[in-house]
Amino acid sequence: MNAAVWDVDVARRLQHGERRFELDVRFVSDRRQVVLFGPSGAGKSQTLQLVAGFAAPDRGRVRVGVRTLVDTATGTHVPARDRRLGYVFQDYALFPHLTVAQNIAFGLDTGWRNPSRAQDHPRVRHWLQNFDLAPLAHLHPEQLSGGQRQRTALARALAPGPAALLLDEPFAALDTALRARLRDELADLLADLSLPMVLITHDDADVRRLGQAVFTLGDGRVLPAS
Amino acid sequence: MTDAWIPLLLTLKVAGWATALNLVFGVGTGWLLARRRFPGRDLLDALLTLPMVMPPTVLGYYLLVLLGRHGPLGRWLQATFGIQLIFTWQGAVIAATVVAFPLVFKAARAAFESVDPQLERAARVLGLREWAVFLRVTLPLAWRGILAGLLLAFARATGEFGATLMVAGSIPGKTQTLSVAVYEAVQAGQDSVADFLVLVTSVTCIAVLLAAGRLVPGRVANPS
């Protein structure tokens, strides 16, 4: 039997004024590429945020390979900064005050100063080349097209060499043709790097192209496979 | 006429110190109220905004009661450090700081709230500690709004009258700031002195407001 790559079992109660939402998501997979599929409001984003460590579960655990990131039973809670996860946000969340190259270099040095405009780190160069971003290295995010932003966000997440990748609807903001191309690029990249990932989406095409294991979420729970 | 430079320099010194102190306290509390949830947050916000709406003389009276010879803080400062704040230029700094505080605090809070928390999360997941997130993401995106608030606070501190007079008095060359000197000059019938002081004060305030106005639009860093 293969060891599980992803072992997630998290519960959290959320209260937004009158609205209450109970999240209780459980999935175990020995495949690297997991897709969480479901309509908006199903709890996909919440689940991904608990895996990333932006919030703590009321109860449960998250394991990636042999690493335990959070486990309420043993009181383990690794802070987000120490989880070594690459996170690609739905709106990319690129730093607007930094250039493309500075954005990609951001996680390489975790000290108190931002990377300089003149920095020329080999890993930054590598990802600029790899994603055809080199001519754009000194532009700011607002000057980029949607696809270029998406690649910058992905490069920024990959540059520090994360142990796994979390992707929050990474293609949702793009038009259909571009979406298909970037989806192919991501699939190749993940295969090259043998990098575990969890991708959340409400797009069937993402599931078909990227999901080695697929879990469907509805109303805060994983629905039984049909 | 050269005597007019003395209150001007004193005013700039007092306003400069008050602005520097508000940089620390105003920005600190602004961040706290923008980014942290705790009980009594709304009450604290109201209390910290109070100096903006209360008459400066009332604030001055509070400070006098607190810092005076028989006040709890004043007695402690005197006994521990031998410091006496009433009727000193340092007392004028305290008065100007309190009066101008809400301008920095409000501007800083709004500036911090305008920074998308998603960007801070992005920085955290890339391995940054909280203080690095603040220095590398939050502050660079909020500094324009904060600077605008600081300039307004500087202008407000320059024009401070009521609380300063209550706390520091009007000792020529020692605690007599521009606005107090204007009042004294008019009272003494020295119209030419008053004219000059008013002109200097007006020019200073207009310059500061122009600088602040340039910073306010496009509060979030927009490099292009």
Interface of B with A (CB under 8 A): 116, 118-119, 121-129, 131-132, 135-137, 140-141, 220-224
A60 pairs with which residues across the strands? Answer: A10
Name every chain B residue with its beta carbon within 8 A of the beta carbon of A111. Answer: 132
Smallest CA–CA distance, residue A208 to chain B, in Å, is 28
Asked whether residue B152 carries a pLDDT value surpassing 80, the answer given is: yes
The whole-angstrom separation of Cα B153 and Cα B22 is 8
Closest residue in chain A to residue B223, using alpha carbons only: A97
**Nearest chain A Cα distance for residue B209, angstroms:** 26
**pLDDT class for A2, splitting at 50, 70, 90?**
low
Chain-chain contact of A113 with B122 (C-beta, under 8 angstroms): no
| Domains along the sequence of chain B with CATH | 2-215 (1.10.3720.10)
Rounded to whole angstroms, what are the CA distances from A174 to A2, A62, A187, A211, A218?
36, 31, 17, 20, 25
Nearest-Cα residue of chain B relative to residue A113: B136
Cβ distance of A110 and B131 shorter than 8 Å: no
* Predicted local confidence at residue A16, as pLDDT: 78
Q: Quickly count: other Cβ atoms within 10 Å of residue A16's Cβ.
A: 7
Q: Is the separation of the CB atoms in A211 and A13 below 8 Å?
A: no
A219 to chain B, minimum CA–CA distance in Å? 24
Contacts of B110 by beta carbon, 8 Å cutoff, 6+ apart: B34, B145
Which of the two residues, B106 and B218, has the higher pLDDT score? Answer: B106
Per-residue pLDDT tens digits for B6-63: 888 999 999 999 999 999 999 999 999 999 989 999 999 999 999 999 999 999 999 9
Axis-axis angle for helices B139-158, B89-113 (nearest 10): 150
Question: Of A45, A89, A90, A116, which to mutate for an interface test with B (greatest number of B Cβ within 10 Å)?
Answer: A89
Q: What is the pLDDT of residues B114-134, one digit of tens each?
A: 999 999 999 999 999 999 999
d(C-alpha B189, C-alpha B205), whole Å: 25
Distance from CA of B109 to the nearest CA of A (A): 20
For chain A, the average pLDDT equals: 93
Specify the pLDDT at position B224.
37
Closest in B124, B220, B224 to A143, CB measured? B224
For residues A17 and A11, what is the distance between their CA atoms, to the nearest angstrom?
19
Does the pLDDT of residue B220 top 80, yes or no?
A: no
State the Cα–Cα distance between residues A156 and A153, nearest whole angstrom: 5
Helix axes A176-193, A146-158, angle to 10 degrees: 20
Contact B59, B51 (CB under 8 A): yes
How far from the centroid of its chain's Cα atoms is residue B172's Cα? 23
Q: Taking 60 as the threshold, does the pLDDT of residue A174 lie above it?
A: yes
Backbone angles phi, psi at B86, to 5 degrees: -65, 135
Q: Considering CB atoms only, which of B118, B222, B223 is closest to A93? A: B118
Q: What is the mean pLDDT of chain B?
A: 90
Q: Which residues of A lie closer than 8 Å to B, measured between beta carbons?
A: 52-54, 79-87, 89, 91, 93, 95-97, 106-107, 110-114, 140, 142-143, 156-157, 160
User: Residue B142: closest CA among chain A residues belongs to which residue?
Assistant: A97
Residue A26 reports pLDDT greater than 70: yes
Q: Does the pLDDT value for residue A147 go beyond 90?
A: yes
A95–B137 CB contact, under 8 Å: yes
CB contact under 8 A, B136 and A80: no
Mean pLDDT, range B202-207, rounded to an integer: 86
Q: Residue A137 and residue A159: Cα distance in Å, rounded?
A: 14
Measured distance CA(A114)–CA(A96) in Å, rounded: 13
pLDDT digits 0-9 by tens, A9-22: 999 998 877 888 99
For the segment B180-197, the average pLDDT, to the nearest whole number, is 91
Residue numbers in B near A86 (CB within 8 A)? 125
Give the pLDDT confidence score for residue B222 in this predicted structure. Answer: 44
pLDDT tens column, A108-134: 999 999 999 988 899 999 999 999 999
* C-beta separation of A53 from A78 below 8 A: yes
In this prediction, residue A226 has a pLDDT band, given cuts at 50, 70 and 90, of: low
Residue B65 has pLDDT above 60, yes or no: yes
Nearest partner of A92 among A157, A26, A30, A27, judged by Cα: A157
Is B125–A93 a contact, with Cβ atoms under 8 angstroms apart? no
- Among all residues of chain B, which has the CA nearest to that of A115? B136
HSE, side-chain direction, 13 A CA sphere, residue B25: 16
Long-range contacts of A174-179 (CB under 8 A, 24+ apart): A174/A146, A174/A147, A174/A150, A175/A146, A178/A146, A178/A147, A179/A203, A179/A205
Mean pLDDT over A46-74 rounds to 95
No. of helices (H) and no. of strands (E), chain B: 11, 0
| B220 class by beta-carbon count within 10 Å (0-12 exposed, 13-18 middle, 19+ buried) | middle
CA B168 – CA A85 distance, rounded (Å): 57
pLDDT at A38 over 50: yes
Q: Which of A49, A87, A97, A142 to mutate to test binding with chain B, by most B CBs within 10 Å of its CB? A: A97
| Residue B104 · residue B150 · CB < 8 Å | yes
User: Which of B37, B119, B126 would you mutate first to test chain A, the one with the most A CBs within 10 A?
Assistant: B126
Q: Which CATH class is domain A1-79+192-226?
A: alpha beta
Q: If DSSP codes are grouped into helix, strand and coil, which group holds residue A129? A: helix
CA distances from B45 to B20, B39, B126, B185 (A): 21, 11, 33, 39
Q: Residue B215, CB half-sphere, CA atoms under 13 Å: how many? A: 19
- The answer on pLDDT for B184 being more than 80 is yes
The answer to whether the CB atoms of B122 and A140 lie below 8 A apart is no
Judge: A112–B136 Cβ closer than 8 Å, yes or no. Answer: yes
What average pLDDT score do residues B162-189 get?
Answer: 91
Distance CA B206, CA A202 (A): 55
Which pLDDT does position A131 carry in this prediction? 93
Q: Which one of A84, A87, A112 has the shortest CB-CB distance to B122?
A: A87
How many Å apart are CA B45 and CA B38, to the nearest integer? 12
